[in-house]
């Protein structure tokens, strides 16, 4: 297996110079499908967001709606992941415990009001690339079977060898091929911030999920931070 990097295209930063991405590189973990301590953390975060105010109006959530509008995407038809998650929480919807890592993604997203997700690197042949779609890339949505293609000019996260898409519309919908399973060992986790989200918030969220993965999943982790000043990091 060759070297793999996370790469963010220059064009993304030309359009969104204040975008930053915290990264946790996981090399080995015990991704249990049940973990009472993580489940309790997730429920605490859900409880916090069910109370006190309309979190959908928070500036961190609204910032992603503005990103979508700038990309000519309707954030009501195609809601950013953080909007979908908070809306579900505020309506009392259940957040299922898929496995420890996925539960921690949801915990961090809900607690910090920023998108957090990850991919199984062993399913990816090339680099993990964030950039603009040509429309030739291939996408099968999480849990789906039918292959579709992103729109030309859409921001996608994709395998730059196979052109399989890990996430459409930046953080709208995950692809099935790189989903995190209980058997996943090597994973790259992204914690994204834009606009009013401070660097300190992204770094705090990144460091917290890294620590929790070490504590509860026996994970070995490395940390990185990408921005317009540094847009690439080798992960494996």
The domain that holds 21 is classified in CATH as 3.50.40.10
CB neighbours of residue 7 within 10 Å: 18
Q: Is the pTM of this model over 0.85?
A: yes
Nearest CA among 221, 218, 190 for reference residue 29: 218
Going residue by residue through the chain, which has 236 residues, state the pLDDT in tens, using 9 for 90 and above: 579 999 999 999 999 999 999 999 999 999 999 999 999 999 999 999 987 778 999 999 999 999 999 999 999 999 999 999 999 999 887 899 999 999 999 999 999 999 999 999 999 999 999 999 999 999 999 999 999 999 999 999 999 999 999 999 999 999 999 999 999 999 999 999 999 999 999 999 999 999 999 999 999 999 999 999 999 999 99
- Domain range for 80 is 5-234
H/E stretch holding 3: none
Nearest CA among 164, 161, 31 for reference residue 98: 31
Total domains in the chain come to 1
Give dist(CA 134, CA 138) in Å, integer. 11
What distances in angstroms separate CA 182 from CA 30, 217, 231, one per listed residue?
Answer: 8, 11, 30
């Amino acid at each position: 297996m060759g070297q793999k990097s996370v790469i963010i295209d220059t064009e993304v930063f030309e359009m969104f110079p204040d975008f930053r991405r915290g990264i946790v590189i996981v090399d080995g973990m015990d991704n249990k499908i049940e973990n009472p301590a993580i489940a309790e953390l997730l429920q605490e975060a859900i409880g916090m967001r069910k109370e006190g105010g309309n979190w959908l109006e928070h500036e961190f959530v609204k910032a992603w709606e503005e990103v979508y509008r700038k990309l000519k995407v309707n954030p009501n038809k195609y809601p950013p992941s953080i909007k979908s998650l908070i809306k579900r929480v505020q309506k009392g919807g259940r957040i299922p415990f898929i496995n420890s890592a996925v539960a921690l993604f949801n915990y961090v997203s809900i607690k910090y009001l920023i998108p957090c997700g990850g991919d199984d690197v062993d399913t990816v042949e090339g680099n993990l690339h964030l950039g603009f779609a040509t429309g030739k890339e291939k996408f099968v949505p999480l849990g789906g079977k039918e292959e579709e293609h992103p729109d030309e000019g859409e921001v996608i996260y994709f395998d730059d060898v196979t052109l399989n898409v890990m996430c459409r519309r930046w953080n709208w919908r995950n692809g099935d091929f790189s989903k995190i399973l209980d058997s996943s060992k090597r994973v790259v986790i992204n914690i994204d911030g834009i606009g009013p989200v401070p660097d300190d918030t992204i770094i705090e969220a990144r460091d917290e999920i890294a620590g929790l993965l070490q504590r509860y999943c026996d994970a070995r982790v490395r940390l990185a931070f990408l921005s317009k000043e540094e847009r690439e990091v080798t992960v494996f």
